[in-house]
Structure 1
Amino acid sequence: MTNTGNITRPPKAMIEALKEIGAATVAGTLGHMGYRNPHMVGPVAQNRGRSIVGPALTLQFLPQRPDLFSEGEYADPETQLHRHVLYHAQEGDVVVVDARGDMSSGVFGDMMSTYFKGRGGAGIVIDGCMRDRPNVEKLDLPLWLRGWTPNYHVQTSIYPNAVNVPIACGGVTVIPGDIIVADDDGVVVLPVAMAQAVIDEAQKHHEWEEFSRIKLMEGAPLQRYYPLHPDANGEYEAWKKANGKS
């Protein structure tokens, strides 16, 4: 089993800027930049209306194999590797778990989640399940999961193998320190190297979309206002000036 240590976190100003941008806009912008599918398929929002942005701490599970894993090793809690990803947690971090889409293993439960929230963690994303749903829901900790189970994490067929290594979660590669953007639309993985370009493009997109939404609500032609036709640029610039956005 592997525990590679801490991650490199992106600048806080970058995280704050991304909080103004939804997962759909990030995904669409990345798509135009050549990253076609940054969206995790499988984990879905468990707390409607919540959104998070933060760097990824990663946890990898593998299928159990008798020569590599024995539950008897867990007599010492500190050999439970899934605890160790939480030990790295700082305020604003997101724990991302490749649980192989397993629906019978509860990766974390009530007490682990309480500890993570107490550390200031932003949220948890699991390609798999959690347990202790009634108590975990009381924490109001933002979660994106496949579902819930009463089983504990190594009760059936998988075991934690590595902390803060590259993983696949929901069909997307996640590198420790990648920026996770998650809301009701789902979870998007944003490489730090692409983040500033996404912010710059998304801010421009947000402004003209705000103008276009107003025009469309007035019954104006879709062909002219979405996407914004070059012939409407004069109107858009006048709207920006009138609303102090220029």
Structure 2
Amino acid sequence: MTLPSTPDGHPRASNGHPAPAGTDAPLVRPDVTLPVRGGAYRRPDAGTVARLGQVSSATACAKLHGLGLRHSFVEGPRPLAPGYRVVGSALTLQFMPQREDLAAGDEQEYVERHTALWHVLEAARPGDVLVIQAYGSRFSGCVGDILARYFQRRGGAGIVVDGRIRDSGKIRDLGLPVWSTGVTPHYASQSELFPWAYDVPVAVGGVLCLPGDLVVADDDGPVIVPQAMAEEVVASAQDHEEWEGFSRLRLDEGARLSDYYPLTPDTRGEFEAWRSAQSSAR
């Protein structure tokens, strides 16, 4: 069988790419069923999400460190606009490197609708935060305006991408909180990556994120909170946020930094009395 030729006269494989030199046969596609979907998982309950919603990413990261979890900060992604904040259940999407025997050729952008990128959006539930593994790629626009708009309409709370997005101005206009490493005009599979799997563990910014983990993201960046540790983080963070508020009051009144940040045994007692008085006054 004679394959169509490329502009330089080489035969073209059935996937739209040049066939290997010296052959006129298409690349043999591996026996892989895509998209890959992970197993069922449990999302955190709404009460846990609401309680964690009072915790900043900095405090969540610090408390996880104190509990023995050293890597929770997703390094790289920054908010598309200042002031964004989100707390929600992680809905995961994994990109993988493209390979010529799996690539979709000239119709690739349309083939995307059958990939994990489309499927994960259909799986979205209200309050989900889409967490995307993209290896910090500078050339893959993992999400654009239409997909972000659809995700938001399904109740999606935010997106964290270890890579780039496209249509950044339109996504900003949506008001959907997004954290990414930057922007690009490329569509998702235009360059070196391809949407591969969803509802699977992903690596983002050097951090492991499991489906159903909690994501806390604000101006300081995203933090991944394991679902099983969320309530412990909430309890510890509440005390931390309260004594920091007390310390700010005292410092604004002219107190010494070393007495109130962090609290000493004496000023801790003063804080407890202040907190008790505040509770009684409510």
TM-score, with structure 1 as normaliser: 0.95
Cα contact 1:73–1:79 (8 A) shared by 2: no
Structure 2 counterpart of 1:183, from 207, 218, 221? 218
How far residue 99 of structure 1 moved from its aligned partner, in angstroms, is: 0.9
Cα distance in 2, alignment partners of residues 158 and 234 from structure 1 = 56
Paired residues in the alignment total 246
Structure 2 counterpart of 1:58, from 82, 88, 92? 92
Mapping of residues 144-223 of structure 1, within 5 Å: 144-223=179-258
1:51 partner letter:
R
> Which secondary structure state, in structure 2, belongs to the residue aligned with residue 198 of structure 1?
helix
> Which secondary structure state, in structure 1, belongs to the residue aligned with residue 44 of structure 2?
coil
Cα distance in 2, alignment partners of residues 75 and 239 from structure 1 = 62
Instruction: Out of 76-85 and 174-183, give the one that drifted further.
Output: 76-85
RMSD after superposition: 1.7
Cα distance in 2, alignment partners of residues 110 and 211 from structure 1 = 43
How far residue 242 of structure 1 moved from its aligned partner, in angstroms, is: 2.5
Find out whether 1:139 has 2:183 as its counterpart: no
1:19 — aligned with what? 53
Which runs of 5 or more structure 2 residues have no equivalent in the other structure? Answer: 1-33
> Which secondary structure state, in structure 1, belongs to the residue aligned with residue 255 of structure 2?
coil
> Which secondary structure state, in structure 1, belongs to the residue aligned with residue 141 of structure 2?
coil
Larger Rg: 2
1:207 partner letter:
E
How far residue 157 of structure 1 moved from its aligned partner, in angstroms, is: 0.8
> Which secondary structure state, in structure 2, belongs to the residue aligned with residue 69 of structure 1?
coil
Cα distance in 2, alignment partners of residues 130 and 90 from structure 1 = 21
Structure 1 counterpart of 2:43, from 6, 9, 14? 9
Cα distance in 2, alignment partners of residues 103 and 217 from structure 1 = 44
Cα distance in 2, alignment partners of residues 150 and 84 from structure 1 = 23
How far residue 245 of structure 1 moved from its aligned partner, in angstroms, is: 6.0
Structure 2 counterpart of 1:67, from 96, 101, 108? 101
Cα distance in 1, alignment partners of residues 127 and 242 from structure 2 = 27
Per-residue Cα deviation, 1:111-143 (whole angstroms, up to 9, x for no partner):
111100101100001011111122222111100
How far residue 75 of structure 1 moved from its aligned partner, in angstroms, is: 4.8
Instruction: Out of 186-195 and 203-212, give the one that drifted further.
Output: 203-212
Mapping of residues 108-119 of structure 1, within 5 Å: 108-119=143-154
Q: Percent identity?
A: 45
TM-score, with structure 2 as normaliser: 0.83
Q: 1:70 to 1:34 in 2, by over 3 A?
A: same
